[in-house]
Amino acid sequence: MIANDTARLGYPGRSSVEALSSPITSKPPSAPNMKNHSNDQAKGLPYAKTLHALQIELVKFQKHLIAHGDRILIILEGRDSAGKDGTIKRIIEHLSPRDTRVVALNKPSDRETSAWYFQRYVPHLPLAEEFVLFNRSWYNRAGVERVMGFCRKAQYEEFMETVPVFEQMLVRSGVQLFKYYLDLGKDEQKKRLQDRRTDPLKQWKMSPIDAAAQKHWKDYSVARNAMFARTHTAAAPWTVVRADDKKRTRLNLMMDLLIRLDYKDKDQSLLRPDPDLVFAYSEQALQDGLIAP
């Protein structure tokens, strides 16, 4: 089970459903100040040792998940080269492959394009005892499809209106849903994209969209902010992870996820994510510059 009220939802009445699937508009607490806050526990950890310890926690969690028949869905979103592949690789490295799935769908076919937008994602949703990670998701429509003109304005608006309801349906059905956005700075993205072009071991990551990533930086920022504003709900909130440092991104995301999950013999002393690096989305965080402009 998930360690919050969302996992204990039954089938609420209409007013409860509307509240849970509506964007959060109340003013949140102030986001942490990056310049003044320090968290030596999270910032000074040795990477390999901490990663190994967190992977042990994930194995504990999966044992609990299988025993209780839970269904876990993790969505990882972010700009090109934000580190989604590497983060997922470390999360699943020692988990049971029979009960763990990574979903990274290709461009939709003509047949899929003619269907209900969410239809091609539904077969990949977790079954009992499954831990599923989406490396990008239905939020392609809120990001790359909007920016690159791959969908009509009416299709975009329909998606933005219906995705909170769709996610609320998943949560009500018992799916434990976590949405993470890996937030990368413009200069760091430029470095990573250049590295892809020059490193033969990373060229499999290249795509035609990469060339437009820097050119359309502002457009992607506008699309991201609209996505947060309209799809950050009580039932399915967004968690932002600052992603300029790959290793710290991985450790802090894993810590944050494990804190939110219930399982036996949890090592609470290990799970101390840096609040400057991982935090719930809020307009205040955007205004304070904690999210890349």
Mean pLDDT of the chain: 88
Q: In what order do the strands lie in the sheet with 278-280?
A: 100-103, 130-135, 71-78, 175-183, 238-242, 278-280
44 — pLDDT class (breaks 50, 70, 90):
low
pLDDT at 16: 46
pLDDT at 19: 55
pLDDT at 43: 56
pLDDT greater at residue 209 or residue 53: 53
pLDDT greater at residue 39 or residue 293: 293
- The model's pTM is 0.86
pLDDT greater at residue 10 or residue 262: 262
**pLDDT tens digits for range 72-106:** 999 999 999 999 999 999 999 999 999 999 999 99
Are 189 and 79 in contact by the 8 Å Cβ rule? The answer is yes
* Identity at 111, one-letter amino acid code: R
Mean local confidence (pLDDT), 60-70: 98
Mean local confidence (pLDDT), 167-191: 98
In the chain the domains, ranked by start, together with CATH numbers, are 5-24+51-107+126-287 (3.40.50.300)
Is the model's pLDDT at 2 over the cut of 50? no
32 — pLDDT class (breaks 50, 70, 90):
very low
Are 75 and 103 in contact by the 8 Å Cβ rule? The answer is no
